[in-house]
């Protein structure tokens, strides 16, 4: 099973730990991890709805990666000049000082206005990222 799933490439400790988690981690997953991730998804959704209502959170079905639709900012999500980053990506990185996965990488122009954020972190870190975003939106006079 380990070789078939290509899990034998890690260290002995990593593989043993992973096998223990898969075999015995159900209670921890159900009682600790899933509620923690859900509380961060709820936090993100409420923050966006109350303070950044022109954005839209797409609740995940089974992940700690949440898609946010940034089309409401009105920034170009596809770089028309042929460079590596769009106005939206530049705004998030240089103005908001947050780095999240751009949607263009996952589906081209059709998904470029969507950004993917990892919510499997302390809520204080998630809050800091959202406050940075909010401050940048206000500072730049966006919607």
CB pairs under 8 A, 24+ apart, for 43-52?
43/123, 43/126, 43/127, 44/117, 44/119, 44/126, 44/130, 47/127, 47/130, 48/130, 51/130, 51/134, 52/130, 52/133, 52/134, 52/137
Global pTM value: 0.85
Would you say residue 95 has pLDDT above 80? Answer: yes
pLDDT, position 24: 96
pLDDT, position 14: 81
- Structure-derived torsion over alpha carbons of residues 83, 97, 116, 5, reported in degrees to the nearest 10: 90
Print burial letters for 41-75: b (CB count within 10 Å at least 16), e (below 16).
Answer: beebbebbeeebeebbbeeeeeebebbbbbeebeb
Q: Which two tokens mark 77? A: 């999500």
pLDDT digits (tens, 9 = 90+) for 6-52: 555 667 888 888 889 989 999 999 999 999 999 999 999 999 999 99
Q: Is residue 76 a contact partner of residue 86, using CB atoms and an 8 Å limit?
A: yes
Average pLDDT score over residue span 94-112: 93
């Amino acid at each position: 099973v380990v070789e078939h799933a290509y899990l034998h490439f890690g260290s002995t400790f990593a593989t043993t730990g992973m096998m223990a988690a898969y075999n015995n981690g159900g209670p921890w997953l159900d009682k600790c991890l899933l509620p923690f991730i859900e509380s961060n998804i709820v936090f993100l959704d409420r923050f966006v709805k109350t303070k950044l209502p022109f954005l839209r959170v797409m609740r995940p079905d089974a992940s700690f990666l949440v898609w946010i639709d940034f089309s409401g900012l009105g920034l170009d999500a596809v770089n028309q000049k042929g460079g590596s980053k769009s106005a939206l990506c530049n705004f998030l990185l240089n103005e908001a000082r947050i780095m999240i996965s751009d949607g263009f990488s996952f589906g081209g122009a059709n998904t470029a206005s969507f950004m993917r954020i990892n919510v499997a972190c302390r809520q204080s870190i998630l809050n800091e990222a959202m406050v940075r975003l909010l401050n940048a939106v206000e500072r730049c006079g966006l919607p």
